């Protein structure tokens, strides 16, 4: 099988979205806000013409081909985020000790997990991420997929018990678990 000499991918921008390119820094602006990402050090060439971002690699190896697809996916996620947004829904599950969740500006505080006295704190990533507690559901919304996903992962991770307090997750389901993730903000 012959090797590729030149590989190219294009990312089209929808109506109402603008892309700016400054070196290897891509800025995407749309109706819900603006996102910026720096791809410096990556072996991919970026070119912008009108409403199309062209990514290309000459004489690619495996890593260069992988990075070409990865950068294209990141830019597409940025476009989806500023046009529709991302929503993650997590469910609070407990069997005996009722868990309470409070939202502060930069963190989420979980109290009474397994009846423990010390509250647990999870960091909220990014300024664009909004967290709302609605009964037994936590709804995390934002325009940056990575910030919304990392905030959700922090909540799930902080509820795990370790060491001598470890419980089998097949029997003890107490904690906060991801129940749905989708594109769009309610």
pLDDT tens for 27-49 read 999 999 999 999 998 889 999 99
Helices (H), 86-184: 145-158
Domains of the chain (ranges, CATH numbers): 6-83 (3.90.930.12), 86-183 (3.90.930.12)
Does the pLDDT value for residue 97 go beyond 60?
A: yes
Query: Percentages helix, strand, coil for the chain, rounded to the nearest 5?
Result: 25, 40, 35
Cα–Cα distances in angstroms (integers) from residue 25 to residues 4, 18, 129, 171, in the given order: 27, 14, 22, 48
d(CA 78, CA 154): 22
pTM: 0.88
């Amino acid at each position: 099988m012959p090797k590729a000499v030149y590989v190219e991918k294009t990312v089209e921008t929808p109506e109402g979205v603008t892309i700016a390119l400054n070196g290897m820094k891509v800025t995407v602006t749309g109706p819900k806000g603006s996102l910026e990402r720096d791809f410096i050090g990556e072996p991919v060439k970026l070119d912008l013409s009108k409403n199309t971002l062209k990514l290309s690699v000459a004489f690619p190896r495996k890593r260069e081909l992988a990075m070409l697809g990865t950068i294209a996916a990141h830019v597409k996620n940025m476009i989806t985020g500023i046009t529709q947004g991302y929503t993650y829904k997590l469910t609070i599950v407990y069997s005996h000790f009722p868990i309470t969740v409070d939202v502060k500006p930069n963190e989420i505080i979980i109290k009474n997990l397994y009846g423990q006295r010390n509250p647990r704190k999870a960091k909220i990533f990014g300024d664009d991420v909004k967290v709302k507690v609605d009964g037994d559901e936590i709804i995390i919304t934002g325009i940056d997929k990575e910030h919304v996903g990392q905030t959700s992962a922090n909540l799930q991770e902080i509820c795990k018990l370790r060491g001598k307090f470890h419980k089998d997750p097949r029997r003890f389901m107490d904690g906060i678990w991801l129940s749905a993730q989708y594109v769009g903000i309610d």
